[in-house]
Amino acid sequence: MIDIKLIRENSDIVKENIKKKFQDEKLLLVDEVKELDEKVRKLKLEGDNLRSEKNSFSSEIGSLMREGKKEEAEEVKEKVADYGQKISKIEEEEQKLNIRIKEIMFTIPNIISEDTPIGEDDSKNVEEQKFGENIVPNYEVPYHADIMTNLNGLDKDAAGKVAGNGFYYLMGDIARLHSAVLSYARDFMIDKGFTYCIPPYMIRSSAVDGVMSFEEKEDMMYKIEGEDLYLIGTSEHSMIAKFKDEILKEKMLPITMTSYSPCFRKEVGAHGIEERGIYRIHQFEKQEMIVICKPEESDSWYDKMWNYSVEFFRSLDIPVRKLVCCSGDLADLKYKSCDVEAWSPRQQKYIEVGSCSNLTDAQARRLGIRYKDDNGNKVFAHTLNNTVVAPPRMLISLLENNYQEDGSIKIPKALQPYMGGKEIIK
């Protein structure tokens, strides 16, 4: 959520930003919120004046009673009651307008960074850098689900009977490899100085509305029937919301946390054959990182965070690239974002395995996360999030890049201690 002062003072900037995100249907909302805000400020001024007059009359009542002027005192009491009714009506109208303003402000997108590419959708995202050599072996690499099934590591048919499409059973060494990746990711981030966290896997609607846009909520989140609870789509949600309505001490910043969690997503829409294995699923596990910092530090943290993802995948000898997200591909709360994509030898293309985002103060405004600076001012913090690793999707690139002609899988050295010293899966 942007600062409403920006709409009051520079609404053209807000409108231009909306155009860059190809959301022209929201342009009229800027004018609406500006008009409503002016009405609210007028009502507030009118209410303050009435309260002042009411207080002035109220103070007269005691004096009149002491002087024995009961009739005059009763007349003043009637005036005070009349003022009270007028004030109540103004407050009701003010509250009603503020609710509408909040609704609109939650839909107006965050101002994007100057270096964000302009484009309608993810087809206009821009490759910025590659890391590692893309290798295509001189033998066929099977479909990832077939690799896992041939190693007795995947059963989607049984999962379909038990839970439906979008679920899976991982078994044996493949399941162990999955857990090894997460354990290695946890230790990797702890070594970077991040505090390890296991968060709640369900959060209330007030937290959901604070961390994501309404469109994302509808498309992603599973709601618990009869409860004000949602299953998290990523642990970023509950980690950031941990600091809801807090005024932090400046010396606490930056807050750097990494968390493990299962994640649950609707994954609305139809997808191609390559995504029917374990690429796009309703349930997965993830190691995430978040940072809460001072505004002047967020750009630096953004660069550190996506580089951590690159370093993690390169430590497993998986080639990756950084893909900068264009304006139309940015969720409304994001200032800038990039995807880290891993090389798929089978498809001979990169597939998304993580996403890094700087949300500036957009989340913090929704959640009320502030800190006191040296001058005692309460400042909204900046929040950032990034995927460390999200298996089982990540296993696609891991398996394909380590697939041997005989059908076995080499285990990267970094993961071998988490696999009991095992070097190969047969």
Which CATH number covers residue 143?
3.30.930.10
Same domain, 167 and 309: yes
For residue 113, being part of any structural domain is answered with no
Does residue 114 lie within any of the structural domains? no
The total number of structural domains in the chain stands at: 2
Judge if 290 and 401 occupy the same domain: yes
Say which CATH number the domain at 16 has: 1.10.287.40
Same domain for 146 and 67, yes or no, is no
Q: Does residue 90 sit in the same domain as residue 220?
A: no
Cα 23 to Cα 20: distance, rounded to the nearest angstrom: 8
Domain final residue, candidates 71, 105, 139 = 105
Give residue 273's pLDDT: 46
Cα separation, 137 vs 151, in Å, equals 20
Examine the fold and report which residue of 56, 80, 105 is the final residue of a domain before the chain moves on: 105
Spatial CA neighbour of 397 closest among 328, 351, 333 = 351
Instruction: Judge if 131 and 40 occupy the same domain.
Output: no
Q: Does 111 fall in a domain?
A: no
Tell whether 231 and 367 lie within a shared domain: yes
Burial of residue 415 (number of CB atoms within 10 Å: 0-12, 13-18, 19+): buried
What is the C-alpha to C-alpha distance for residues 234 and 390, in angstroms, rounded to an integer? 10
Residues 68 and 151 in one domain: no
* Residue at a domain's end among 105, 138, 159: 105
**pLDDT by 10s per residue, the chain, length 426:** 899 999 999 999 999 999 999 999 999 999 999 999 999 999 999 988 888 888 777 777 767 777 777 777 777 787 878 878 888 999 999 999 999 999 999 999 999 999 999 999 999 999 999 999 999 999 999 999 999 999 999 999 999 899 988 899 999 999 999 999 999 999 999 999 999 999 999 999 999 988 887 777 777 889 999 999 999 999 999 999 999 999 999 999 999 999 999 999 887 554 554 456 788 888 899 999 999 999 999 999 999 999 999 999 999 999 999 999 999 999 999 999 999 999 999 999 999 999 999 999 999 999 999 999 988 999 999 999 999 999 888 999 999 999 999 999 999 999 999 999 999 999
329 located within any domain: yes
Among the listed residues 140, 144, 141, 142, the one whose alpha carbon sits nearest the alpha carbon of residue 277: 144
- The closest of 180, 214, 363, 210 to 285, measured between CA atoms, is 180
Contact status, residue 392 vs residue 277, Cβ threshold 8 Å: no
Whether 63 is in a domain gets the answer yes
Residue 96 sits in the same domain as residue 127: no
Inside any domain, residue 231: yes
234 and 96 in a common domain = no
User: Where in 212-335 does DSSP place strands (E)?
Assistant: 222-223, 230-231, 247-249, 255-264, 283-293, 320-324
Distances in whole angstroms, Cα of residue 98 to Cα of each of 10, 19, 29, 40, 276: 20, 25, 14, 7, 45
In a domain, 415, yes or no: yes
d(CA 73, CA 61) in angstroms, rounded, equals 5
Give the separation between CA 408 and CA 426, rounded to whole angstroms.
5
Residues 231, 150 share a domain = yes
Tokens representing 337 are 């974002």
Cβ count near 178 (within 10 Å)? 21
Beta-carbon count within 10 A of 50 CB: 16
Answer yes or no: is 117 within a domain.
no
179 and 310 in a single domain? The answer is yes
The residue range of the domain holding 48 is: 4-105
377 and 239 in one domain?
Answer: yes
Cβ burial, residue 51 (10 Å; 0-12/13-18/19+):
middle
Evaluate whether 35 touches 104 at the Cβ level (below 8 Å).
no
For residue 267, what pLDDT is reported?
Answer: 72
pLDDT at 92: 93
